[in-house]
Structure 1
Amino acid sequence: MADSCCASACGSEMAKADPRWRRVLWVALIVNAAMFLVEMVAGAAADSRALQADALDFLGDAGNYAVSLAVVGAALSWRARAALLKSLFMLGFAGWVFGSAVFAFMSGTSPDPAMMGAVGALALAANVGVALLLYRYRTGDANMRSVWICSRNDAIGNVAVMLAALGVFGTGSAWPDLIVATIMAALALTGGLQVFRHAMAELKAAPAAVEQA
């Protein structure tokens, strides 16, 4: 418990004192917004549910980074509320992907593996770059932790998309694409729950911190 409190306090001071945090968020926002457009177009062209799910994940992350920028230097309670909002985005994304995978299973179409692999590799490079920038902030408050978890999950998801492309190419079936879309949904679900629990704990702790101050 002491470690958690220390992480939140240290994260708070880091967010206020380090101007690099704001710059990193701007870079992450721009990269994610651009990759949303790329993957949404490619996902529609390739008829890949995994790519479309990843595109929506990029869009959600861009929104998350915008929210994080809005609360840089704000009180812990406001940063916790922002993290809570972001956790709901992550959980909503998980629900959409599960539904999309079920629809694709019923339609029975197979995606284009070549485009899946190429765009998946581009997305992986983008997310690894963002994750490296965010790595030093991974143990901060719930808001900072949520940003790190989103970036980490995205990189894992991109590797899974590339593996799905190989699976579709080797089998000629849509199953690898659907399996990866489901895995990505599970990642968003677990990540969203982690951030939700952390944010709720900080919201409960915020009044006590104000009284002590």
Structure 2
Amino acid sequence: MSGSCCNHNDADQAARAQADTIYRRVLWAVLAINAVMFVVEIGAGIASRSASLQADAVDFLGDAANYGISLFVVGHALHIRARASLAKALTMGAFGIWVLGVAGWNVMTGATPHAYTMGIVGFSALAANGASFGLLWRFREGDSNMRSAWICTRNDVVSNIAVLLAALGVFGTGTGWPDVLVASIMGILALQGATVVTRQALAELRPFSVRPAE
């Protein structure tokens, strides 16, 4: 009986180790994708004066950092992974607040971005995030650390589609309002994602905060 239990535990540990190895490889791939796209999009965003492109670029940078954190904590205890998730939720929330600030600044300055640049770079970003989304799909129902990585990528795909719509809006209206609107939506999505991850991470940490009665 005890031998059977030991074999079962060994099988579970082996399966977990294999899953962690696959997850690490996926994280390295999406980290590289996000790092490259940050460089591409921040340059295009500044050159085109697009708030939504700049916001998306900073989002790529934040995601790359988040994937790096995820790589560091893969295979660690649940409470360590949950605390890492709280750190990632904080960066997601900070990104959301920053984006809303940039959108407000562009309203005051009346900047009008270049629609063609927005469209071309936005389509490239959508392709990159679509690849990341597909790679992370199987881990979407994991712990808060895995879920936060998937939520970041899910939000990015939505944001990229919105950037493309903003490019069409800027082209059609000749104003920067569509760009500002999309940047604001991206900021709100980041704040919503930060809230979801924070709630799950706190729920995972709750059992560790309960002290036995003396």
- Regarding TM over 0.5, the answer is yes
Equivalent in 92, 96, 99 of residue 97 of structure 1: 99
Query: How far is 1:15 from its partner?
Result: 6.0
Matches within 5 A, 1:185-196: 185-196=187-198
CA 1:203–1:118: 2 relative to 1, 3 Å? same
Query: How far is 1:109 from its partner?
Result: 1.2
Alpha-carbon contact 1:29-1:61 (below 8 Å) kept? yes
Q: Which residue of the partner structure matches residue 34 of structure 1?
A: 36
Question: Alignment RMSD, CA only?
Answer: 1.8
Across the two proteins, how many residue pairs are aligned to each other? 199
Work out the CA distance in 2 between the residues paired with 1:101 and 1:181.
6
Query: How far is 1:13 from its partner?
Result: 9.0
Which amino acid is 1:83 matched to?
A: S
1:55 is the counterpart of 2:57: yes
Which amino acid is 1:76 matched to?
A: L
Query: How far is 1:206 from its partner?
Result: 3.8
Work out the CA distance in 1 between the residues paired with 2:175 and 2:94.
28
Would you identify which runs of 4 or more consecutive aligned residues in structure 1 move more than 3 Å? Answer: 12-17
Equivalent in 63, 66, 85 of residue 87 of structure 2: 85
Normalised by the length of structure 2, the TM-score is: 0.90
Q: Which residue of the partner structure matches residue 9 of structure 1?
A: none
Alpha-carbon contact 1:15-1:21 (below 8 Å) kept? no
Normalised by the length of structure 1, the TM-score is: 0.90
Alpha-carbon contact 1:76-1:206 (below 8 Å) kept? no
Overall identity of the aligned pairs, in %: 54
Work out the CA distance in 2 between the residues paired with 1:80 and 1:13.
22
CA 1:14–1:174: 2 relative to 1, 3 Å? farther
Query: How far is 1:20 from its partner?
Result: 1.0
Work out the CA distance in 2 between the residues paired with 1:75 and 1:63.
20
Report which of the two structures shows the higher radius of gyration computed on alpha carbons: 2
Matches within 5 A, 1:75-154: 75-154=77-156
Query: How far is 1:66 from its partner?
Result: 0.2
Q: Which residue of the partner structure matches residue 170 of structure 1?
A: 172
Work out the CA distance in 1 between the residues paired with 2:14 and 2:39.
35
Work out the CA distance in 1 between the residues paired with 2:106 and 2:209.
47
Query: How far is 1:14 from its partner?
Result: 7.0
